[in-house]
Structure 1
Amino acid sequence: MMEVSYREEGVASAASSVAGRLVADGVPARLAGGDPTLWGEDADAEAAAGRPAPPRSSRELLPVLGELAERARAAGLTNVVLAGTGGSALAAEVICATGDVPLTVLDTTDPGQVRRALADGLESTVVVVTGGGGQAVEADSQLRIFERLFADAGLDPAGRIVVVADPGSPPARRAAAGGFHLVPAGAGGPHSVLSAPALVPAALAGADVARLLDEAEEVLPLLSLDSGNPGLDLGAALGGAALAGRDKLVMEDQLSSIFGLPDWIEQLIAESTGKQGRGILPVVGADPNRSGDELVVAIESDVGDVRVDGPLGAQFVVWEYATAVAALLLEVDPCDRPNVAEPEENTAALLALPDLPAGAPAFVDGPVEVYGSATAKDLPGLFAELLHAIPGDGYLAIMAYLDRLAAFDAPVPDGADFEQMTDAWMMADPQTLRTLLALRTDRPVTFGWGPRFLHSTGQYHKGGPQNGVFVQITGVVTEDVAVPGRPYSLGRLQLAQALGDLGALETRGRPAVRLHLTDRAAGVARLLEAAQEA
């Protein structure tokens, strides 16, 4: 069963204060019942998406999921690739990692990362494309690439592509035209993790989705209660702490049996609360600084200010409910994403140009070109300058438009043990830059893979408080991938997405620089070396 416990007196006091107000307003029952007026008297029924989607409605999917999985197994389709973005893709990744079943998630436009997936047993591959009411450019590009690849290999794409989308939407029409299997997406929005876009790929990969729904349904009755309600307890802690100035949410899960849950929580909370100049900043994979604006929440561990225990299905539902409660306390609509479309629009405008306006570098340090305003003349000086620029209540965000698996290509010594291999991979991994820079500041340092984070913390970067400093990393493309039926390649699309996002930050006066690696491996090595010199 699900349990939320407070481990710090200040958190308990702040949570108790706001929880009493919420109970007096009848929020627990109203939220569990989907009352749209929680988000304003004029709110329509769509605002009810601010509450968790009932897992029982997903039970209707189980026969469909079982049939899909059985058909895939009979055809020998054991390599499941998910072409999708946002919370549902992250949830599917968590479900499969926790269940120890293989799933390749392609929420990227990096040519190298996509080429890896294309080379991985095409004859045994089934591709799930999630699009909802629209379709992200990442999923559209990958659908086109896989469709052409299947056809060129003499494999029928119709039997190997499953589209999850709303009937009548562009992806659904694309499915009809291609003869692909279509599964209705069902409830949408950030609070619908236990619906088709996450469950279809998870079921095809072999995860026990029926058990997941059982776990969710067990906790559901508690969410309408005024006491003993884990969603209310967690939401009051998140929102109460944020109102008291503790708006940096550091998540700890090292002892948890659930793998990767903070990555999904990061998307949920950043996108739901980061708007109108306010919000809660999730910090994943970092040690707490114990600064006054941090709240440490631990999954199945006593190391935090708040401890959250429970199986994965219950965790999903409770975190969705708690995020809606926190958004209510911050007086923002959790389903409103006012700043997500801007980078997409910028990308489309850039792709329409004959050449991408990359500009001229401010300076070059070995295999790294530096773009943006900076008085420094080398990377160590730049990193020192950026760290100094972080406001006292701010954060540094690193955004890498690169192949997130490339570090595993790093050479390792002959006969190396696992620890030596791990060290080699770490020193080839852009994420290590976050670790090194975090050692030199008491402010949070976050890391996101582009364009994955655009559907996550990207909303917070632009809509949240004006206290972020941004480092974007791009890299040269040596082996590109064409996108059939589109006038661009993945490499061009990836750079356009990076430049579009950078433009959205710059128009808001967010301090930002772009580091372009003219040699990706050597460039990462130079960044890590410079961070240690800063």
Structure 2
Amino acid sequence: MTEVWGDERLREEAAPLVERLVAEQVASKLTAGDPTLWGPEAESEASIRLAWTKLHETSRPLRGEIEALRSTMNAEGVNRVVLAGMGGSSLAPEVITNTAGVPLTVLDTTDPGQVADALEGDLSATMLVVSSKSGSTVETDSHRRIFEKAFTDNGIDAASRIIVVTDPGSPLEASAREAGYRRVFTADPNVGGRYSALTAFGLVPAGLAGADIGALLDEASSIAPKLAQDSEDNPALFLASALGGAHARGAEKVVFADTGSGIRGFGDWVEQLIAESTGKQGTGLLPVVVENADAPGFADAGQDATPVAIGENVGTGLSTSGSLGELMLLWEYATAIVGRLLGIDPFDQPDVEAAKKAARSLLDAPTSEPAKPTFVDGTVEVHAPEGLVPAEQTLTAALRAFFDAVPEFGYVSVQAYLDRLADASAVVLRPEITRITGRQTTFGWGPRFLHSTGQYHKGGHQNGAYLQLTGAVDDDLTVPDRPYTLGTLQLAQALGDGQVLADHGRPVLRLHLTDRAAGLAHLVKALQEVSR
């Protein structure tokens, strides 16, 4: 059973907004697919983005199709699922399978080492799900090319192992059918990527991996009638109003901690939903996912942030509890309604393309000369922008100068263009930086976060400072029939996004680790010296 709780201040702030939303019949209009809820400028986009409110009903035929395909593949000895997808195409399947306790190898990276690890699995038992709404996602296309060649090189009929999920009419649908891939699933095109958890994008890879997608749809169905009601008891109206009311007084950050929900990775999924939906036109809600309720930035969230417990109520801020399907639909409703309260279109992502264009321009005009660092400290090359070059050329001094550039009530974004598995220790940077600076700090794996919080960084409140981590590549991977390697693409994505952020007038400090393990250790030591 879903429960939403807010502390006394949030309840008081939310009350008049809930009353207004009920009077305006926002919940029922949203459920009916009314595209006028966000104003005339958003109407065109909204008119083709609202089918998600009915997915718990319309996606049910997928269950039988997915189970039949899984049974056939398993009978052939193919039971390992690798998913190539970015953003909503990977975040939803990952939280669904992690929560269900079934294995799914997710590739939402351009790090050569992480992709190589996936290739080292048992290819004879592997199926590749290629998932892309547009059909032209560069990361996903690169993964498809690499795995297709690997299958062929190992004497495996590649076409029989590749399953595609895409929008109808996309370039990927056409090329997949021409190539004779094992199966092509087309999703409902009237659903945006971050609202697509209960479409084929979320259900196909999760179902093939063994998750009970029928139960997930049942969970969403159980809460759907309540979310459609124009009533003060509608939990989505209260949740949206609490977040909107907090934002109005300057709490534009939302800090998520799991407090025993039993859902693994919900914060990463809801992070994209909120950041891409609201972070635009200089406003929005910045989700900050922390390690637990004791982590820096949660209990001591500060006046610019609202703590949200996923699971057990901790007595302050907000809490939401329930099953995964319930919480997914609840937060989708609440996020769309927050868009109305903030006066923005929750279904577009106007700033995401900027980083992609910048990366493409670097790939189209490659240089053999690597960027010259400002200075080098041990195994870390420091690339500091003009104005943040310390007099003392040490990593510690560079970090101090960078942290001094974070505005009051601003935030730090750690962007790790590294291997999410082999370089997992990098996550310790988030709580350490929060502790040192007293500023909310986010952590994202690049380029994964570009399809998530990347929109907010450029379009939301312009008070962020960005710490980029890039690393040396020992064994690069060629992308078949493309003039670049994965390592080249990964670096281009970091440099491209960094340039766009700098063009927005934001401080960007890039640290390049010439030895990843040693560099991360040196960085942690330097942070400890900053705090002294």
**TM-score class normalised by the smaller sequence:** over 0.9
Secondary structure of the corresponding residue to residue 126 of structure 1: strand
- 1:375 paired to 2:389: yes
Give the distance between the partners of 1:240 and 1:227, measured in 2 at CA. 16
Amino acid at match of 1:158: A
Q: 1:38 to 1:51 in 2, by over 3 A?
A: farther
Return the offset for 1:430.
1.2
Trace 1:38-437 onto structure 2 (pairs within 5 A): 38-41=37-40, 43-44=43-44, 46-47=46-47, 49=49, 52-54=52-54, 55-180=56-181, 181-187=183-189, 188-189=191-192, 190-225=194-229, 226-285=231-290, 286-287=295-296, 288=298, 289-303=300-314, 304-355=316-367, 358-373=370-385, 374-376=388-390, 377-407=393-423, 429-437=425-433
Greater alpha carbon shift after TM alignment, 220-229 vs 325-334 = 220-229
8 Å Cα contact 2:362-2:492 kept in structure 1: yes
Q: 1:108 to 1:332 in 2, by over 3 A?
A: same
Give the distance between the partners of 1:470 and 1:345, measured in 2 at CA. 19
Amino acid at match of 2:31: A
Give the distance between the partners of 1:31 and 1:5, measured in 2 at CA. 23
Return the offset for 1:83.
0.1
Return the offset for 1:88.
3.1
8 Å Cα contact 1:14-1:244 kept in structure 2: no
Q: 1:125 to 1:247 in 2, by over 3 A?
A: same
Return the offset for 1:358.
4.5
Q: 1:528 to 1:51 in 2, by over 3 A?
A: farther
Return the offset for 1:356.
6.3
What are the ranges of 5 or more consecutive residues in structure 1 without an aligned counterpart?
A: 409-428
Give the distance between the partners of 2:241 and 2:31, measured in 1 at CA. 15
8 Å Cα contact 1:271-1:457 kept in structure 2: yes
Amino acid at match of 2:38: W
Secondary structure of the corresponding residue to residue 277 of structure 2: helix
Q: 1:445 aligns with which of 418, 425, 441?
A: 441
Q: 1:531 to 1:45 in 2, by over 3 A?
A: closer
Greater alpha carbon shift after TM alignment, 40-49 vs 335-344 = 40-49
Return the offset for 1:191.
1.8
Return the offset for 1:149.
0.6
Give the distance between the partners of 1:38 and 1:51, measured in 2 at CA. 15
Return the offset for 1:443.
1.1
8 Å Cα contact 1:39-1:47 kept in structure 2: no
Secondary structure of the corresponding residue to residue 476 of structure 2: coil
Return the offset for 1:145.
0.5
Amino acid at match of 1:476: A
8 Å Cα contact 1:251-1:298 kept in structure 2: yes
Give the distance between the partners of 1:250 and 1:156, measured in 2 at CA. 46
8 Å Cα contact 1:50-1:334 kept in structure 2: no
Question: TM-score, normalized by length of structure 1?
Answer: 0.94
Secondary structure of the corresponding residue to residue 419 of structure 2: coil
Secondary structure of the corresponding residue to residue 127 of structure 2: strand
Deviations 1:105-125 (CA, angstroms, capped at 9, x unpaired): 100000000000000111111
Give the distance between the partners of 1:521 and 1:473, measured in 2 at CA. 12
Return the offset for 1:244.
2.0
Return the offset for 1:309.
1.3
Amino acid at match of 2:238: D
What are the ranges of 5 or more consecutive residues in structure 2 without an aligned counterpart?
A: none
Aligned pair count? 513
Give the distance between the partners of 1:269 and 1:51, measured in 2 at CA. 18
Deviations 1:362-411 (CA, angstroms, capped at 9, x unpaired): 11110110112223221111222222221112001010100010147xxx
The sequence identity of aligned pairs, in percent, is 49
Give the distance between the partners of 2:415 and 2:509, measured in 1 at CA. 10
8 Å Cα contact 2:402-2:509 kept in structure 1: no
Question: TM-score, normalized by length of structure 2?
Answer: 0.94
8 Å Cα contact 1:267-1:457 kept in structure 2: yes
Match for residue 15 of structure 2? Answer: 16
- Supply the RMSD in Å over aligned alpha carbons: 1.4
Return the offset for 1:133.
2.7
Give the distance between the partners of 2:438 and 2:524, measured in 1 at CA. 19
Secondary structure of the corresponding residue to residue 253 of structure 1: strand
Give the distance between the partners of 1:26 and 1:124, measured in 2 at CA. 51
Secondary structure of the corresponding residue to residue 485 of structure 1: coil
Amino acid at match of 1:441: T
Give the distance between the partners of 2:307 and 2:52, measured in 1 at CA. 24
Return the offset for 1:63.
1.7
Return the offset for 1:519.
1.0
8 Å Cα contact 2:244-2:342 kept in structure 1: yes
Greater alpha carbon shift after TM alignment, 462-471 vs 355-364 = 355-364
Match for residue 493 of structure 1? Answer: 489
Give the distance between the partners of 1:356 and 1:508, measured in 2 at CA. 27
8 Å Cα contact 2:18-2:232 kept in structure 1: no
Give the distance between the partners of 2:371 and 2:240, measured in 1 at CA. 45
Amino acid at match of 1:298: A
Return the offset for 1:51.
6.9
Deviations 1:160-216 (CA, angstroms, capped at 9, x unpaired): 110001222111112112211100122431222210011100001000000000000
8 Å Cα contact 2:45-2:348 kept in structure 1: no
Return the offset for 1:343.
0.8
Secondary structure of the corresponding residue to residue 59 of structure 2: helix
8 Å Cα contact 2:261-2:322 kept in structure 1: no
Give the distance between the partners of 1:444 and 1:47, measured in 2 at CA. 35
Deviations 1:275-317 (CA, angstroms, capped at 9, x unpaired): 0000101110153223111111111112241121111001110
Give the distance between the partners of 1:401 and 1:430, measured in 2 at CA. 10
Return the offset for 1:477.
0.7
Deviations 1:252-297 (CA, angstroms, capped at 9, x unpaired): 1032211110110111101100000001011101532231111111
Give the distance between the partners of 1:5 and 1:302, measured in 2 at CA. 7
Greater alpha carbon shift after TM alignment, 152-161 vs 52-61 = 52-61
Give the distance between the partners of 2:423 and 2:111, measured in 1 at CA. 14
